[in-house]
Amino acid sequence: MGRNVGGLDRELFQKTFSKVKASPKMYQEVIRMTEQRKPKRFIVRRLVVAALVLALAAALAMGANAATNGEFFNHVVTFVTTTVDGEMEIEVTADLGAITEDGMVFTVRDTGDGRKSYITYRDKNGNIITEEMDMDKEITIEKDGAVYGGGAGQDSAASQPNVEAESAQRAASNAG
């Protein structure tokens, strides 16, 4: 039949064992496992977005966004992410020099269970405010600073509750 090597037919050997294959299900499982290895990165992205939303909301509450003609995001200067004792912590330092005399620091903390997240920030009166964040929202920030958000599984910005408005309301109540 095929090439005989040392008394064994190599081609027959290859043809026979080419049928021994891993199942496609197993392959999918490996890909899924590697995707599951990145929850922190995902949380970081979402937390950064949430922090940005709150920063924007706070700025809006102070009328800053209007004053800067929607250029608020140009003033965000640093993002610091650290993991401390299994908790994800993000500091978003917004340079609000153009808006107020004092800078503002926002800290978003995830409890690690992927469900509860808290945002802590110092308001312009120096009070430390901690709020639970709803991290199940998909939030989109457009380049021009427009913010859209809503529940999981919904993809139309028009159909979503406006996070900007929600957050602005929340921040306004804290600031007030």
Partner 1 sequence: MGDGEFAARAQQFADTIYRIAFHTCKNAADAEDIVQNVLLKLYRADKEFESEEHLRRWVIRVAVNESKKLVCSAWFRRSVPLEEYAESLEFSTPEESALFLAVMELPKKYRVPIYLYYYEGYPAKEAAALCGIKVSTMQTRLQRARERLKKKLTDEKER
**Smallest distance, Å, CB 81 to partner 1?**
20
How many helices (H) and strands (E) in the chain?
Answer: 5, 9
- What residue spans of 96-162 are helical by DSSP H? none
**Smallest distance, Å, CB 39 to partner 1?**
15
**For residues 147 and 162, is the Cβ–Cβ distance under 8 A?**
yes
Task: For residue 22, state whether it binds partner 1 (rule: CB under 8 A).
Answer: yes
Task: For residue 30, state whether it binds partner 1 (rule: CB under 8 A).
Answer: yes
How many whole angstroms separate alpha carbon 108 and alpha carbon 67?
26
Provide the sign of the torsion angle of the four alpha carbons 160, 144, 38, 167, taken in this order: negative
Q: Which is nearer to partner 1, 35 or 95 (CB)?
A: 35
Each residue 33-72 as x (binds partner 1 by CB under 8 A) or -, in order, gives xxx-x-----------------------------------
Residues that bind partner 1 (CB under 8 A): 5-8, 10, 12-17, 19-23, 26-27, 29-31, 33-35, 37
